[in-house]
Structure 1
Amino acid sequence: MEKRNYRIVFLRMALSILMVTLIFRLFYIQVIKGDFYSQKAVEQKIRSFKISEKRGEIYDRNMIPFTNREYKEYIFAIPKMLTDKEKAAKIISEIAAVNYENVLETLQSEKDYVKYEVKVNLNGKLPAGIFKLALSQRYSQNSLARHVIGYVGDKKMGLEDTFDGILNSKNEDSIAVFTDGNNTDYIKGLGVRLKTSEKEVLGIKTTLDYHIQKTVEDVLDKNKVDGAAVVIDIKTGDILAMASRPNFDQNNIQAYLNSSNEEFINKAVSQYPPGSIFKIVVASAALEYDKVDLQDTFYCSGGYDINGVVFHDYKKESHGVINMVKGFAVSCNTTFIKIGQITGAKNILEMARKFGIESDDSLPIPEQIGKLPILSDTYGAGIGNLSIGQGDVLITPLQAADVVATIANDGVRNIPRLVTAIVDENGKEIKKLSQKKSYRVISKNNAKILKEMMRQVVIDPEGTGKRAETIYGSAGKTGSAEVSKELNIYHAWFTGFVPFDEPKYAISIFVKNGDTGGTKAAPLFKEIAEEIMKY
């Protein structure tokens, strides 16, 4: 009898344990893991259609995005969810302002979904199978820094190309449609939803300043400039703005493929003859190698013959006996050719290279570097071209700003940079990008002299850069690079810094076929400088 009771007790205990285990298991499945298994069950009855890729942002230095700034509304339709396709086609044709027959034909096709841009907002509830979604646009009609940012598509350009492996997260947005148990038909009452995959999306942080970039582009557009402008932070070498004109539409690249108007050319990093702004380099060499003293005088004669080649001053003007400071202010060619002869081509070329004229600084965008003549080409009349920035001398607007930034930074060159870090969606820096080491180009004392010389260009009554003066005090150098002597065509330059007392920004302006630097480029410098100084 006792043995029988023992068996009953054991059986009850076993049943109790099983019941507790079962209850715990049900609790674990329904409560603890309920959301997980519910999600899995739902996913078995969901079919997803990819509608867009999520691409990493390109930010300015303050984490203001240059990309994905605007949203555009679209109307979507799932043909297999529509009970009345003719009615649906009528609604879509009105909202999207497209042909009714074309919409109906599309809805009767085997497509998983169709998409149209919303043109007209209609009141009223949309039937099942039709819905609206706002999707971010990679580029907008007002997007900035297009020659730097570039574009992505069948072809790539700019930062979009260089950092494609980082920006292309392979993340995507999709629309999810509920299906029946056999996954063969859509459950019309449950509608659709937007799904985003959870892969990490990384972006890049540039040195550009969104507001300064906008100011520069607004000034170029207002003045209908064909050319470029660059702004550099003197203390860091960071490129704060880089703009080129004419511009292009990032959403319509095909429109420019057969164009000859140079829309895709980034003139800010393209080679051009510098003209008289190269006199900054010549003056630096003359001072640094102790070849010319500030008290030395020269006769600005209006014309100068070297081996039968005659070099003229602008409009063949003569300023009489002057020193280097005055010659720099009035941009006397004949004076600087004489200074070039005294200084020597070898020293001038060496100084130009120290300023980085022929250096590849590894910017993450396609970039031309400057060009200098070989020493043998500077013999005889060649020294004349070298001394006034003509002939085989070529530099970019970025390099022009870099030269001025070096002088304004007391003779120390900070290598220009454009991108500082890889960041996540919250702005956290995942990886910092290193900057090349700074180095001294000229002595602090000579840099001070050159800054004073550049100030005279703006404040001397005869100075060529008077139109660049600002309320903050400007300093710089004009350039008028001869393109066609017969047609009197020049590239106009002004490169300088602001404010004079505590230099902050180096700015270079280049206007292609734009007349003289003092007439065309200097006023643009003034306008840009006074606007960005407000920040």
Structure 2
Amino acid sequence: MNSNKTHHREKIALLFFLLFLAMTGLMGRLIFLMVFRSEHYSAMASDLHERERTIKAARGNIIDAKGTVIATNRTVCTISVIHNQVKQADEVTAVLSKELGLNEAEVRKKVEKYSSREIIKTNVDKTLGDQIRSYHLAGVKVDEDYKRYYPYDTLASTVLGFTGGDNQGIIGLEVKYEQYLKGLNGKILTMSDAAGIEIENAAEDRIEPIAGQDLHISLDVNIQRYCEQAAYQVMEKKGAKRVSIIIMNPQNGEIMAMVNAPEFNLNDPFTLNTAAEVPANEKEKQDLLNKMWRNPCINDTYEPGSTFKIVTAAAGLEAGVVKLTDQFSCPGFRVVEDRKIRCHKVGGHGSETFLQGMMNSCNPVLIDVGQRLGVDNYYKYFEQFGLKGKTGIDLPGEASTIMHKKEDMGLVELATVSFGQSFQITPMQLITTASSLVNGGNRITPHFGVSSVSSDGKSVHTFTYPVKEGIVSKETSETMRYILEQVVSEGSGKRAKIEGYRIGGKTATSEKLPRSLKKYISSFIGFAPADNPKVIALITIDEPQGIYYGGTIAAPVIADIFKNIFPYLGIEPAEEKTVSSFRISG
């Protein structure tokens, strides 16, 4: 019996010991939580009682070269409900569905959903938001927000780009300069009770938003609008598929205008800009939208045709394999290996100098210059001029040049490349390279961004862009300006001539692939003044109907644009020049 008592006492002692250990552990844990983790759990408790709403930061404006705002913000509202604060669910559902034009069942589903905050609709017009606020519905929150607004609707749509529902840039400058434009959102912090209902008259903490920086760009609204008008006129007149125009300062790469007609409405970017193409399903619609949003000036490549003869001529002059007075013969074709490559003039140009060959846009002459250079030399200058890489323009999605690999380039390929066929570049690459060849030999970087300025005007960031000097000598550049001035004054580009002004330029008519379709791109690149270029322009007309020669339909458009923007840019008529103003070396 004593042994049983002893056994029970041992069990009781063990139980008390285990309880003591448990209590000690609990006390230790409690002390640890209260002393060492008090801040953490205090913060968690606060989070349970705090409600947070975002105050959207105003996105920075985009401002043109003359100070005109071309992208800004409009105040809109976000309508939301907090379930635990709603007192009359039926009334809230009825009012919101009626005022917002939403399906009542969908609104009710959100109103009755157990969540800290349920968004009913965003981007609500401020007037309507104020109307909903006037109902004083418990649990309904009307927060002011910003929606991107473009005062000129379609102006430079593929350049500016647009923003999504979260006000973040999607394409164009809006996405390229997102870090400068977006700003920093603020917050509203309110206290609620254990049931999640906001405490009346409780202190409200606000963290004010910081507005985004304004982006100042080189694009000029006046020049852009005039170029768009010219593009639409020629597109309608020639029944063209698309017309693109670029106007740029060839000395520093600042782009004054970039048109891709037809443009789309930036305030309604998800509506197709043509009724001719009706999508069969959502995937097809998205494909059409992506196509509409593309910027052909930088996203698409094409065979440049005769405008590329500028590059072959500059390479030949720089390498010393040709002079202006060199004699050539054009019977209307050249035979290269087993290929007969024709000139655009069926009967040929006969005997002509290199200068005359450029003025006549003679394929055989440029083929001969290419053959004199050879594949190695031609590739060397192709790379030296910057044609193998991208231009570095401050727009997303720039395409690269599509060129033969050096090891795959034979004499036939060299011949066709020499006059602008069998490879592809972007219009932006062409105008940038041409600018660099006539501005004294400096490879510039095309761009729109000039500076960003904080909303208070105190912080200014000026953008800089690389320049590669000496891609050709100043002498070669001067000779190229002279050649291209003769092309306009007496050669194939004479429809770009403007009385009293010195214009340089080159025409092109390139056949699209596959050749069997007989579809063309007509183009003209021109600059002025010819002796000291301050403006350069490129127009491409995609699939014009009827007469399609670049010298006939593209050159006059640039002439008309130049005639109207020269006074605006302060480009004065030139004094009467003499033949001796440029010395032709023999």
Instruction: Return the alpha-carbon distance in structure 2 between the equivalents of residues 448 and 303 of structure 1.
Output: 30
Q: 1:438 and 1:102, CA in 2 relative to 1: closer, same or farther beyond 3 A?
A: same
Looking at structure 1, the residues matched to 469 and 234 of structure 2 have their Cα atoms a distance apart, in angstroms, of 37
Matches of 1:75 and 1:161, distance apart in 2: 23
Report the counterpart of residue 228 of structure 1 in structure 2: 244
1:333 has 2:347 as partner: no
**1:360 maps to amino acid:** K
Residue 258 of structure 1: how far off its partner (Å): 2.4
From 447, 451, 467, the counterpart of 2:495: 467
Q: TM-score, normalised by structure 1?
A: 0.74
Of 168, 171, 187, the residue aligned with 1:157 is: 171
**Where does residue 520 of structure 2 map in the other structure?**
490
Give deviations 1:76-119, integer Å, cap 9, x for gaps.
798989999979968995x87x4796899699767778667559
2:535 to 500, 505, 521: 505
Residues in 2 aligned to 1:216 and 1:450: alpha-carbon distance in whole angstroms: 26
Cα distance, 1:295 vs. partner? 1.6
What one-letter code is carried by the residue in structure 2 that aligns with 1:156? I
Is the CA contact 1:75–1:118 (under 8 Å) kept in the aligned structure 2?
Answer: no
Contact 1:458 1:474 in 2 (8 A): yes
Q: Would the alpha carbon gap of residues 107 and 424 (structure 1) be closer, same or farther in structure 2, given more than 3 Å must change? A: same
Q: Deviations over 1:311-334 (max 9, x none)?
A: 112252422211122211221112
Alignment match of 1:66 (pick from 60, 66, 70)? 70
Q: Which residue of 2 aligns with 1:142?
A: 153
1:167 aligns with 2:185: no
Q: Taking structure 1 as reference, are residues 488 and 504 closer, same or farther at Cα in structure 2, changes over 3 Å only?
A: same
Moved more, 78-87 or 405-414: 78-87
Find out whether 1:523 has 2:556 as its counterpart. yes
1:173, CA displacement in angstroms? 8.8
User: What's the offset of the Cα at 1:262?
Assistant: 2.5
Q: Rate the CA distance shift 1:171–1:528 in 2: closer, same or farther, 3 A.
A: farther
- 1:278 has 2:308 as partner: yes
- Provide the residue aligned with 2:400 in structure 1: 369
CA, structure 1 residues 103+68, in 2 after alignment: closer, same or farther (shift >3 Å)? farther
Distance 1:423 1:87, change over 3 A: closer
Alignment partners' CA distance in 1, 2:64 and 2:126:
32
Structure 1 range deviating more: 159-168 or 112-121: 112-121
Tell me what 2:470 maps to.
Answer: 440
CA distance in structure 1 between the partners assigned to 2:338 and 2:107 by the alignment: 80
Aligned-partner Cα distance in 2 for 1:345–1:186: 80
Kept in 2, the 8 Å contact 1:292–1:343? The answer is: no
Note if contact 2:314-2:437 (Cα within 8 Å) is conserved in structure 1: no
In 1, are the aligned partners of 2:246 and 2:257 still within 8 Å (CA)?
A: yes
Structure 2 residues not aligned, in runs of 5+: 1-49, 236-240, 271-281, 570-586
Q: Whole-Å Cα distance in 2 between the matches of residues 136 and 223 of structure 1?
A: 38
User: 1:82/1:55 Cα in 2 relative to 1: closer, same or farther (>3 Å)?
Assistant: farther
Q: 1:457 aligns with which of 464, 487, 511?
A: 487
Match of 1:239 among 255, 277, 285: 255
CA distance in 2, matches of 1:332, 1:358: 25
Residue ranges of structure 1 left out of the alignment (5+ in a row): 1-45
Deviation at 1:298, TM superposition (A): 1.5
**What secondary structure, in the 3-state scheme, does the structure 1 residue paired with 2:310 have?**
helix
**Shift in Å at residue 397 of structure 1?**
1.0
1:261–1:494: structure 2 CA closer, same or farther, 3 Å change rule?
farther
**Inter-CA distance 231–302: structure 2 relative to 1 (3 Å threshold):** same
| Map of 2:410 onto structure 1 | 379
Take 1:86 and 1:368, find their aligned partners in 2: how far apart are those partners? 55
**SS where residue 456 of structure 1 aligns?**
helix
CA deviations on 1:137-162 (whole Å, 9 max, x unpaired) are 31437153333333333883333334
- Give the drift of 1:281: 1.0
Range with greater deviation from structure 2 (310-319 or 382-391): 310-319
Which residue in 2 is equivalent to 1:57? 61
Q: Is the 8 A contact 2:481 2:531 kept in 1?
A: no
**Is 1:390–2:406 an aligned residue pair?**
no
Q: Percent identity?
A: 25
How far apart, in 1, do the equivalents of 2:403 and 2:78 lie? 58
Distance in 1 (alpha carbons) for counterparts of 2:77 and 2:196:
27
Q: Say if 1:85 and 1:108, in contact at 8 Å, map to a contact too.
A: no
Distance 1:474-1:259 versus aligned 2 partners, 3 A rule: same
> Paired residue for 1:406, among 422, 429, 436?
436
- Structure 1 residues 291, 132: closer, same or farther in 2, change over 3 A? same
Q: Bigger shift: 510-519 or 108-117?
A: 108-117
Q: Kindly tell me: are residues 159 and 99 of structure 1, through their superposed partners in 2, closer, same or farther at Cα, counting changes over 3 Å?
A: closer
Q: What letter corresponds to residue 369 of structure 1 in structure 2?
A: S
CA contact (8 A) 2:220 2:256 kept: yes
Pair 474,291 (structure 1): closer, same or farther in 2 beyond 3 Å: same
Which digits, 9 at most, give the CA deviation of each residue in 1:3-55, with x for residues without a partner?
xxxxxxxxxxxxxxxxxxxxxxxxxxxxxxxxxxxxxxxxxxx9885475532
Distance 1:252 1:292, change over 3 A: closer
SS in 2 for 1:55: coil
State how far apart, in whole Å, the 1-side matches of 2:303 and 2:521 are: 8
- Residues 139 and 340 (structure 1), Cα distance of their counterparts in 2 relative to 1, 3 Å cut: same
SS class of match (1:360): coil
Output the CA distance in 2 between the equivalents of 1:328 and 1:252: 44
AA matched with 2:525: T
Matched residue SS, 2:411: coil
> In the TM superposition, what whole-angstrom CA distance separates every residue of 1:109-138 from its partner, at most 9, and x where no partner exists?
6777866755999xx996656999996531
- Separation in 2 of the partners of 1:260 and 1:186? 48
3-state SS of 2:334 partner: strand
Kindly indicate whether the alpha-carbon contact (under 8 Å) linking 1:73 and 1:132 is maintained by their aligned counterparts in 2. Answer: no
Give the aligned residue type for 2:388.
E
Give 1:257's aligned amino acid.
Q
How many angstroms apart in 1 are the aligned matches of 2:233 and 2:144? Answer: 32
Q: TM-score, normalised by structure 2?
A: 0.68
SS of the residue corresponding to residue 558 of structure 2 reads helix
Aligned-partner SS, 1:523: helix
How well do the aligned residues superpose, as a CA RMSD in angstroms? 4.2
Are residue 215 (structure 1) and residue 256 (structure 2) matched? Answer: no
Work out whether residues 93 and 104 of structure 2, in 8 Å CA contact, stay in contact via their aligned partners in 1. no
One-letter identity of the residue aligned with 2:232: D
**Does the CA contact (< 8 Å) of 2:541 and 2:554 recur in 1?**
yes
- Worse overlay, 279-288 or 306-315: 306-315
Cα pair 1:479 1:516 within 8 Å, conserved: yes
State the match for 2:210 in structure 1: 199
